[in-house]
Structure 1
Amino acid sequence: MSTKSICYLFLILSICFQQAYAQEILKGKVVRISDGDTITILDSLNQQHRIRLHGIDCPERKQDYYQVAKDYIGQLCFQKEVNVEILKYDHYKRAIGKVYIDSLEINLALLKSGLAWHFLQFDKSTEYAAAEAEAKLYKRNIWSLKNTIAPWEFRKYQREMRKLNAK
């Protein structure tokens, strides 16, 4: 292999690695709040993007604090410009990311306010764990309840109930 070929191969590989590790930043206006951890933004090309907030899970419909979490995120960012640091895409083709309005990270704000669980299955950050621990300590919102049921457990229970009712 010639020196020119090796240099060309190295250039191609370095470009591939840069693209693989580059964070994708999406900017847009929040036009819909689906629930406490899913929003839709409209970008500068008038394309809509569904965004699932990374590392957290908010109460599901029919759970305590569902509407409070939805209203809270709406007050923070509805009809406002946000930046989304996209980390990946899920099987629903939603972008999974951290949402920022100015310097405020919405994901972290939900945890600190006691309106979300730290979703350890998808995030191991100590910052998110500490935010959840603080909300628990001060019994904020969901943590003020005697018995909290994590949304993933609630969804599992709902699926099992549907199976039983289908029989």
Structure 2
Amino acid sequence: MPHLTEQLLWACLIVLSLVSPTWADGIVRGQVVSVSGGDVLELVDAHGLEHRLRLAFIDAPEPGQPFGDEAQSALAAMVLGRPVTARLLGRSDDGFAQAEVIEPNGHLVNLELVKRGLAWHSYFESQPNLERDTYQAAVAAAQQTRQGIWALERLELPRDYRARAEQALRWRHFLVATLSSAALLGLILSIYDKRISGWIAKQDEHLKASAEASRLAHIRSEADAAERDRTRAIADQEMERLAAIHRAPEHKGIERV
């Protein structure tokens, strides 16, 4: 019954592509030349144009998460090197074209990954109710049989894993920038260390020379003051001697009278 529902979905899509120009523009056929992770592939159409597609309505584990490698291997086994048909459904936030992809055996790849427990049913806000119910039934069946990710005790959504990885990357970049700045500062200091040391040594020499000049000036000032005092004392003594000489005749004359 699930396989019949899947075929019915794609029969409706094919009919719409035939009768509606809009839907016809949304169908791409080509050969898959590469896969990335469990939900991104690249195909080349008959005109040689490359189309990088993200599988719509699902989110596969990221490389590094449990079952990330298994999801990529399963996607590669279904589509790599094989002709596929893709229904384009607009673009995702990262600029990829979103698509539902059918592989040569008629399986809807998006849904097949969910059935195997290798992808979450996600980003389904714009998904038609019929398709949404089919995907949800596939999730319930995978959970019941503990397929893939549903066998894990603890689950982390890929979007949460990406956010955590981006945060760690930002911290890593900050740390690298900080260490690089410190290394650059150290390099600058090492280059100018001799110049800075020489400048400091010259400043010390100038300070010492200035201090020595001040000391010598002080000594000279004290010597000059002492010389002035000595000269003044000699002058005073001489003046007293002369004064005594001048006073001596006056005293003798008074005695004679």
The TM-score bracket by the shorter chain reads 0.7 to 0.9
Number of equivalent positions = 150
Aligned to 1:104: 107
Stretches of structure 1 that go unaligned for 5 or more consecutive residues are 1-17
Aligned to 1:154: 161
CA distance in 2, matches of 1:123, 1:74: 27
CA distance in 2, matches of 1:47, 1:21: 19
1:145 aligns with 2:145: no
CA distance in 2, matches of 1:80, 1:134: 28
Aligned to 1:136: 143
Structure number with the higher strand fraction is 1
Which of 75, 78, 83 is the matching residue for 1:73? 75
CA distance in 1, matches of 2:65, 2:74: 15
SS of the counterpart of 1:115? coil
Q: Tell me which moved more, 22-31 or 62-71.
A: 22-31
TM-score of the aligned structures, taking structure 2 as reference length: 0.54
SS of the counterpart of 1:104? coil
State which structure, 1 or 2, has the greater radius of gyration over its C-alpha atoms: 2
Stretches of structure 2 that go unaligned for 5 or more consecutive residues are 1-19, 176-257
Aligned to 2:50: 48
* 1:25-69 Cα distance to aligned partner (Å, 9 max, x none): 000001001111000001101111101000000011111111110
Aligned to 2:217: none
Q: Tell me which moved more, 50-59 or 23-32.
A: 23-32
Moved over 3 A (4+): 18-23, 120-124
CA distance in 2, matches of 1:45, 1:20: 20
TM-score of the aligned structures, taking structure 1 as reference length: 0.81
> How far is 1:160 from its partner?
2.3
Partners of 2:53 and 2:96 within 8 A in 1: yes
CA distance in 2, matches of 1:149, 1:123: 24
1 or 2 for the larger relative contact order (CA 8 Å, sep ≥6)? 1
Partners of 1:73 and 1:106 within 8 A in 2: yes
